[in-house]
Structures are given as C-alpha cells and as structure tokens.
Structure 1
Amino acid sequence: MKTISRFEEVIGQSFDISSPYLLATALEQIKQEKENLLTELKDNSCIKVPIVGDFSAGKSSLLNSFIGRNSLLPVDITPETAVAYELYYSGDNEYVELYREGKKIDERPVDEIKKLSVKPGDIAKVFIASPKIQDLQNRGITLVDMPGIDSGIKEHNDAILHYITRGTAFILLVDVGQGSLRQSTLAFMTELSKYNLKPAVLISKVDKKPASELKDIKEYISFQATKAIGSDTFVGCISAHNNDINDFVQYLATIDTDKLISERFRARVVGYVNLQIACLSTQLDLANVNLQNIEEKIGQLEEEKARIAERLATTVAADKPEKSTQDILDDVSEELTAHSEEIAQMIVNKEGSDNIQALILNYIRPVIINSFKEEGEQYAASLNTVVDDATKTLQDTLKIEGNVIDNVMDSFHDEIAGGLSVAADFLINNPNIFMKAFGYILMFFGDKIPELIRFLFGKSKESIVLEMVQKINAEINPKIIEQLRKPIFELVVMQQTKIRENIQKNITNGLGHLQDTMRVAGAETSKEELDAKIANLQTAINQLKEFENKI
C-alpha cells in the first residue's frame, strides 16, 4: 500500500523534524496525535469490499469459487444465523475469530466455522491460506460475505451500519432469475450513493439463461442501476456453478485502494503537519518580539483557560439538543412523506413486512446519518464564538507587539476546526450507536402493518393506495417520529458533549503551548543563541512545508 506507507513516512519524518524544538505541551499533544493517526492507518489499511444481495443470490458460493474452496463459507445456513464474514490471509494456520461490538468472543479452527454461536451484527474474521486472498490483502482489499438483504431486517441493518462508513466498494449480487433489480435493491443502491459509495452489480447464476436472454437482462439491470445512483456503474455476469467469475475478478482489479485511502486520510495528515508548523511558528513569532512582564502574562493565560472552560460549560449554542433533535426528525418526516406512496404500494401488494421495513430504512438511514453530521458541524461552528472571544481577550490583556496573537489564534482556529470535524463524525464512525434508534422503527412499523391491511378489501386499488398514503402520513409517520425522539435526543446530547470536550481540549492545549513559549522566550539568552534558535526554527518550518508535496 503505497499511500499508507507514504503517510506513515510523512508522520514519522515530520515528527523527527519538529520534536527537537517542540515545547512540553505541544510535544505531548503532537505525540498523541501521531500515535492516533498511525493506529487509524493501521486499522484501516484495507478497503472492505462487502458483497451484498438476497439470501439465495450466491454470495458465499461466489467467494468459495474465487478461493477454490467450495465448502469454506457456509452456504446452507438459516437467515437468522447469517453474519458478515471477512476474509484474511493467514498462511498455514487457518482459523476464524468471532467479534461482537468490537470485542473478540470466540476463536476456532476454520473447519468449525458453522459451530460459531452468532448474533445479528457479529463479524467473523476468517483467516485462510489462499494465495488469491493474499494478493488482495497485499493490494489493501478485504472481501466481506454479507448477510442477505432478505436474511432478516435487523440482521441486515446491523451489518450494513458496520460497513457504510468503512466499505468503499460494495458489490450487489442479483440472481439472474429475477430478471431485474428489485425495488428494495434499488433503494439500497440509492442509499449507498448518498454516502458517496458507488456499488457494482454482478448478475449471478447466469448459466441458467441463454445468451440472448441474458443480454437483455444485463442491459435492463444496467439501466436500472444507472438510474438509481445517477451515474454509470459496473455490471457483470458470473456463474459460481461453472467457476465463471471473470467479471468479479475484473471488477476487483479496477479498485484503486491508494486513491480511496488518500481521499479518506489526506486531510488528517495535512492537518497533523500544519499543527507542527503552527507550534513552531508560535515560537518563532515570540522569539522576534520583546516580551515584558512574562509571569504576569502567563498568569493571565491561566485565568483565560479557566474562563473559557466556564464559558464552554454555560454557553448556549445556536442549536440546543431539543432543536437539533427536531431538525433531524423533521428531515426524517420529510423523507417518509416523500416516499409514502411507494410504501403504500408495497403494503397493498402484500409484500413481506421485512421488505417494507428494509425499504423504509434505505430511505431514512442516510437521512439520519447525514443529518447528524450536518447538525454536529453546525453545533461546532456555533461554539467557535468562544475562540473568537478568547482571541479578543488575549489581544486586550497580553498586549504583545505585532500580530503575534492574531497569528497564534488563526493557527489555533484551524487546529480546532480540524478537531471538530473529527468530533462531528463521532457518531457516524460508531455504527453500533445508531442501532437502537433504527430498532425503534423496526419494532413499531412491523407491528403496524397488519393493522394497515385490514381495510383493503372491497375497494379499487387506486382508492386503496390513496387511503393508505393518507393513513401513513396522518397516523403512522407521526408515531414513528415520536418513537424516534428519545433515542435521537440521546444521540444528539452525546455528540454535542463530544464536541464541547474536543473544543476544551484544544483550547487548553493551545493556551498551554503559548504559556510554554512565553517562558522560553523570556529566558535569558545571548544574541548568538537567539539567532541560532530562530534559524533552527525557520529551517524546521521550511522542511515541514515541503511535506505538503508528499501528502
């Protein structure tokens, strides 16, 4: 993985350049950020490629054919026992690990894979001696055999939540016997596109159709897929039965893992280098001014830290938790209303409750997730008034000549903005947190479907659909919103708390570094020592700026 190696090199080399000159507070902060970044890069060194489809679409058979082990992954399990299986290379020692909510709870030889006691949302990591899996792993690709879309709505929902922020190359399998993409599959493709994920489509079991008929099916599915995601996508044909999986192999070859990882981490690595530049620049700025009353100014900074902490605890942001909660629920309500006719049609057509609930989740899952991200960013921006107020206070009280305070706080503002982006994504990157909220919808709507179909008899289909839409909008949607209010409110409070804590930590670090810098700047030094220090700082800053071309 060239990108991972390049980022690790930049992180390590930039720290080697800055660390000899960093003062205590900044050194501790940057060292911690270095460790966090390296850990994240290690944990995300592979792009997950989840393979999704209906329960009998042939996902496990495809992967078994690909690795040449027809009995490795379970193909005759019940929907209730379906979990996600991630494939890794292990050498001669083959085994499987079972994870629940991020913790390993079981490990067995790979031939005992069917004996695992699994629950919805579990992840099974399968380690096998497969050269093909080894080749993919060297390219930074991990294949994932997913529970079927129809394997049980909770099972599928829990699994999908785990990968929508991690998986960047979904593959959807559709049985050629269907002849087209089902509404639930199209809705899922549309949902993926809202996360900026572009799924590929593979038509399976193509040995069951003549070539002329297959051509028409492929053309129609390509048309459906393009309409669902708004752009052309890869559509191929496979037959695990005949070991004809060339289109699957061809698609895997098109995945640019370096590009995908760069898009995900580049901004973080740039921010890490810029933080080091900002810390050294603060020292350089203060080395060039004549500081008076150092201890008094350091004391004023200590008072400012306490004042900011108090302001953060008491400041009322633009959006209180109740307001953010309502904004998110309004977005959900609008989405449910926009699709109420489609939901009504499915109920009138007596489709299974799991399919109906799956469709509803396809619509509102991205709305909730993206709304949380937007609300988090708005909340963070509203609290930036604390930073602006701190800048003015420092200018008025410290009275340091030149633009030192402006420069310090400008760089500090950038640092906080980068940290707030991470904080605002806190819930998005912790999918288990959302499961409770979606569980309320499943429990409620599933119970209501029988009640909705009682009045279907003796009326025309058109009037039934119209009445169903009215009933959904007037009675069902408002009740879904109220069911969601409590869990959404709890999540909003959790996210806002995380953002406040992040601001507090960054402000404390920034002012602490400024205090350290003042102490050093006020120490007695000869002109020669000061000139040498300024030259060293400037050289280090210039070297750090050169890293931008390597990121």
Structure 2
Amino acid sequence: MTNKQKSYIECGNKAINIAQNTDCLNDKIQELSLLTKSIENQELLVPVIGGFSSGKSSLINSFLGSEVLGIGITPQTAIATELRYSQDEKIEAIKDDDSIEIFDIKDLKKVEEKAQTYNHIKLYLNNQKLKEIDPIVLVDMPGFNAPIDTHNKAISRYMPSGVYFIALLSGVDEKTITKTYITELNGIHTRGKEFQLCISKTNLLPQRDIEQIKSYAKDTLEMEFGYSKDIELLDDNSGAKLEKILKDIDIESLFESIYKPHISMNLKEMESTINTTISALRYDKQDAINAIDELKNGISQIEIEKKKAIDNANSKYNDTNIEGIIGVVSSALSNNATTLAQSALNGGDIQSAINNIINSVLPSEIQKRLSGIQQNVIDNFKLSIGNIDMKASDIQTWADGLKEIVSGACFVANTLLNSDINKKSSSALVSSAIGIGGGALATQALAKIGFTINPIVGTILSAVFAILPGIFGKIADSKRLEAVKEQVRNEVIPSILSQIRPKLNEYFAKTTNEIINAISQEFTQKMSEKEDEIKNAQKEKELAISEVEDKISYLEDRRVEIQALIKNI
C-alpha cells in the first residue's frame, strides 16, 4: 500500500469518526465508507501492449521468474490476462456479462483455447514479484493484430482503466514504428496516459541494427508525441528491466489525481453542513424563514436555467461538439490514407485498420466533449443562483468541487463500450467503464452527475463496417497507389463520416439532456439538504440556551478538525 493510499484511508476514517459523532453529518457516513473502501481496494492496471509475437508474454515470464504465460498462442487464442498476487492460485475467466468461471492454474492453456468465449481472465499467482509491485496489476494484452472483437474488448476495458502502458516494438519482426503502431499509441496519448516504449528481441539483432531502430523510433515518437523518455532495449531475459519500469511509475501522484478531488469535496460538504447548522442555531425565527426562502428561490432559478439549457442544447452544446468530433475523426482517417490505400491494394484487413484508427481518437474526443458540456452546465447553474445570499449554504464551493470531479482523473471515458458489452447490467457497465476510479466510488461519481453509459463507439463501428465492403469494392479495379489514396479521401472517408454523424447526433441529443437533468437534480437536492439542515437546527433551538451554546461549541471544534483534514490531503 502506498503512502498516499494510507494517508487517504486515515483521512477517510477520521472523517467517518467525525460524522458518526455529529448528528448533522450522519448522512455522510455511508458515502465516506464507500470512498475509504474504494481507496483501500484500488488497483493500478498497467497493460503490456504490442504486435503479435512482440515478446509481451516472454517479458512478463522473465519478470515472474517462471514460464507461466503461453508464448506460442495465435491471435485467435490471445486474451487480455491480468496478473494478481494471491496465495490461493487460480484462474478467473470473466465473460462479457460479468459471469465468472474458475479454473485450476494448470488449465491456463485450455482457457486460452476458448479465448473467444471470454472478455478477459484474471490469473492469481503466489509470486513474490507480483506481491512487491502491489497495487500495480500487470496485464498481458492481445496483439494489435488480434481479431477485431478481441481487440475491441481489450480497448474497451483497458484504454480507460490502464494508468500506464508498456509498449513493445519487435526489433526482429517490426523494426520501425509503422503508421498502425502510431495509431495505437495515439489512442493512449489522446487519453492523457503515459507509455514506455521498449524494443524487444534485441538479442537476435546486431548492434548496428539496434541503434538504427532505436534512433528512428526516438525521432518518430518525439515528433508525434513530444516523447522524451529513453527507449528500453529488451532481450529474452529482461525481467529486471520491467521491474525497474514498474517501480519508476509515480503511483503516489496517480492516487492523488484519482482521489484528492473526491476527498476534498466530501470534507468541504461536511464543513458546509456544519457552517449551515451553526448559522441556523444562531438565527432567530425570521432569519431562518428568510434563509429557507432564499434556497427555494434558488431552486426556482435552477429550474429556469434547466429549461433554458435544454431548449438551447443543440445550438449551445451539440452541434459544435459533434462537428468537432467529426473533424478529428476525419483528420485521423486522412492522415492514414496511404496506409488504408496500401492495405486495399495488398488485400489487407481494411476493417481492422479503420477500426484501430477510429478507436484511437473517437472515445477520448467524446469523453472530452461531454466533460466540457458538464463543466459548462455546472457553471451556468452556479451563475443562475449567483445573486442569492448563499453565505449559509456554501453552494458555490460545492459546485466547484463537483466541477473538479468531472475534470478529474477518475472521471474517464465510458462511451467506448462496444456493442457486445451492452448485455451487462448498468452497475456492471459502470464498473467496466469507469476506469481507474473503479468500484463503489465510480458508481457514486457517475450517480452524482448522471454520466450516461452508452455503447456509442461500438454502434458507430458497426455502422461503418456495414458499408466498407461496398465502398472498397468500387476501388478494387484500381492498381495505382495515388489513385486509390484519392478514392480513399474523396469516397471512403466521406462515406464513413456519413455513418458517424447521425449516430453522434442521436447520442448527444439524448446524453446532453440527461446531463442537464442530472446536474439540475443534484443542485436542487443540495439546496433541499440545506433547507433541511436549517429546519433541523431550528428544532435544536427548543433546547435551553446553554445547551445550544454547547452544541455550537462542539460543532466549531469539529469544523476545525475537518479544516485540518482538508489542509493535509
């Protein structure tokens, strides 16, 4: 367990103790308990990615010190495999509907032979190396050229949930970073994640070739991503290098980016409740009536802003964002026109190439645009109540905390779920899609702001795949690369975009309204809670004057404790 993890758990437990002993904070106990449990159980997934036969399994085996993972598997039998420490060794094979089949560790090969049956597997090993890297969980990923269904399952689960990626480039089989490889890395980069590039199988190459491959890779990555890290050279016994890469990951800052906004918001809500209660205990009857009237007026203002936001959703949010997304996808396809044309001429897998290009940009663009809409809606609701006297309720501070959570690291793209995952229950969808927030905290975060889970990327890809045979069938007679490139730009890309636009229109029209309604409801609920706090405090005034003063003194002491926790997170 990391220092930051321990610190946040301690902070959570102190906050729970304060809430348990303070009547006006009792409603926070369950939320704080869920948050603290989530921090305690948080894992950090680190996928190892690369082409088929790039040495991913061999590298992990070298790290483990034993030949655990199969290294002779085919793309069809490849499956994402999470490696976890446990004294009780076993395999959990997880299906698309989240049901689990349990196998003995010696049956790994049998499970891999049925790879298409499962979404991913969890391999529990009594291995000291895995214990030492906790809370990091290594993931052996299918190769880039795995079947589309397998590839998309892996992307859907690990692109949002992976916190750091280790990318292998085979010095023997690949030698250069191709456009396809850049597309895969771009999917990581556009999500704001880091990766470490490693050149594998260097023991099979002369030194001169190694230096050339490394130099070209370094120049390419610097130009594409501003990549400045050194490139690791791996042979068939590089487990120690993998161990160093893992230990160099700044997991303390990762935990901070995931949890600090949530802890801060919970503590500030507690402080706000105490402030309201203390003020209300000091109110006379007319003050209390005035404060409640202010809150009711605020709720009315929120309703007005909600209607205005819904009426203007298309012009204010949807049209611009949809065209922005279309533009990014169009640019990604155009930049890969040569690759697509070459694939068409050589009888390559066009569907996989287009799938990878769209998947590298579309999920992160949708995430970014929806996050921007949510932040804008929060700001507009906040402004709509700006002229109301909120000194007793701290609604403005609460709204800032909500906005910070929206833009925080644990609020990640949920929209890249493919159509196969649509069979899951809503809670399972949340769990698989939320990414590094995970578990109860993820459900809580989504519930707060109504981030709708929709398999939009899978729906779009299905529509695109349906038209591809017809489009590329028209250009099959052409044998010149430049002519095919022109057809890709002038016929193929516009046809693909024509399939994407209506799906995005439908999705944004639905999702934007859900966002507006959910955030409106959250503001209204928060103001109603403040009203209840004032009413409850007024009941306390029926006590003797000395008891009321004692109550205020107690709350002031608890407020000091909470402020100290806020200062130290």
Structure-2-length-normalised TM-score: 0.82
The structure 2 residue matched to 1:187, chosen from 183, 193, 215, is 183
1:172 is aligned to 167
Matched, 1:477 2:471: no
2:439 is aligned to none
Matches within 5 A, 1:329-478: 329-349=322-342, 350=345, 353-354=348-349, 357-358=352-353, 361-362=356-357, 365-379=360-374, 381-382=376-377, 385-386=380-381, 388-389=383-384, 404-405=391-392, 407-418=393-404, 425=412, 427=414, 429-430=433-434, 433-440=455-462, 443-444=465-466, 446-448=468-470, 450-451=472-473, 453-457=475-479, 461-462=481-482, 464=483, 468-469=485-486, 471-478=487-494
Q: 1:31 and 1:503, CA in 2 relative to 1: closer, same or farther beyond 3 A?
A: farther
Structure 2: stretches of 5+ with no match in the other structure:
416-432, 436-453
1:27 is aligned to 26
Matched, 1:37 2:55: no
Q: Number of aligned residue pairs: give it.
A: 525
Q: Does the 8 Å CA contact 2:94/2:118 hold for their aligned counterparts? A: no
Matched, 1:50 2:42: no
Report the secondary structure of 1:164's partner residue.
helix
C-alpha deviation, 1:387, in angstroms: 5.1
CA distance in 1, matches of 2:184, 2:38: 28
Q: 1:263 and 1:366, CA in 2 relative to 1: closer, same or farther beyond 3 A?
A: same
Deviation larger for 81-90 or 100-109: 100-109
Q: 1:217 and 1:297, CA in 2 relative to 1: closer, same or farther beyond 3 A?
A: closer
2:102 is aligned to 107
C-alpha deviation, 1:484, in angstroms: 2.5
Report the secondary structure of 2:71's partner residue.
coil
Q: Does the 8 Å CA contact 1:420/1:499 hold for their aligned counterparts? A: no
CA distance in 1, matches of 2:116, 2:316: 36
Report the secondary structure of 2:476's partner residue.
helix
CA distance in 1, matches of 2:296, 2:63: 63
Matched, 1:88 2:104: no
The structure 1 residue matched to 2:274, chosen from 272, 275, 280, is 280
Matches within 5 A, 1:134-145: 134-137=131-134, 140-145=135-140
Q: Does the 8 Å CA contact 1:48/1:142 hold for their aligned counterparts? A: yes
Deviation larger for 371-380 or 185-194: 371-380
C-alpha deviation, 1:504, in angstroms: 0.9
1:269 is aligned to 263
1:399 is aligned to none
The structure 2 residue matched to 1:206, chosen from 188, 202, 209, is 202
C-alpha deviation, 1:234, in angstroms: 3.8
Deviation larger for 503-512 or 534-543: 503-512
CA distance in 1, matches of 2:472, 2:358: 22
Matched, 1:521 2:538: yes
Q: Does the 8 Å CA contact 2:184/2:360 hold for their aligned counterparts? A: no
Matches within 5 A, 1:532-543: 532-543=550-561
1:9 is aligned to 10
Deviation sequence 1:332-352 (CA, Å, 0-9, x none): 332244345443312332356
Q: Does the 8 Å CA contact 1:391/1:409 hold for their aligned counterparts? A: no
CA distance in 2, matches of 1:310, 1:336: 36
Matched, 1:78 2:65: no
C-alpha deviation, 1:425, in angstroms: 4.9
Q: 1:224 and 1:352, CA in 2 relative to 1: closer, same or farther beyond 3 A?
A: farther
Report the secondary structure of 1:292's partner residue.
helix
CA distance in 1, matches of 2:558, 2:267: 12
CA distance in 1, matches of 2:78, 2:264: 41
Output the aligned Cα RMSD.
3.3
CA distance in 2, matches of 1:34, 1:351: 58
In structure 2, what residue type is equivalent to 1:427?
A: N
Report the secondary structure of 1:50's partner residue.
strand
Q: Does the 8 Å CA contact 1:283/1:517 hold for their aligned counterparts? A: yes
Structure 1: stretches of 5+ with no match in the other structure:
396-402
C-alpha deviation, 1:381, in angstroms: 2.6
CA distance in 1, matches of 2:379, 2:8: 30
CA distance in 2, matches of 1:449, 1:65: 46
Matched, 1:67 2:60: no
User: Which structure has the greater CA radius of gyration?
Assistant: 1
The structure 2 residue matched to 1:292, chosen from 286, 296, 303, is 286
C-alpha deviation, 1:302, in angstroms: 7.0
Q: 1:210 and 1:409, CA in 2 relative to 1: closer, same or farther beyond 3 A?
A: closer
Q: 1:410 and 1:288, CA in 2 relative to 1: closer, same or farther beyond 3 A?
A: farther
CA distance in 1, matches of 2:66, 2:434: 34
- Calculate percent identity across the aligned residue pairs: 19
Deviation sequence 1:154-188 (CA, Å, 0-9, x none): 32232122112221210111111222212111222
1:260 is aligned to 254
Matched, 1:161 2:156: yes
Structure-1-length-normalised TM-score: 0.84
Deviation sequence 1:423-468 (CA, Å, 0-9, x none): 97573544883442353265146425632532423x5x44x15xx3
Report the secondary structure of 1:55's partner residue.
coil
Deviation sequence 1:191-241 (CA, Å, 0-9, x none): 31221212111111112112232222222222222222212124112222x
CA distance in 2, matches of 1:504, 1:419: 17
Deviation sequence 1:47-84 (CA, Å, 0-9, x none): 111011111112112212221322x2232333233221
Report the secondary structure of 1:142's partner residue.
strand
Q: Does the 8 Å CA contact 1:343/1:356 hold for their aligned counterparts? A: no
2:213 is aligned to 217
1:398 is aligned to none
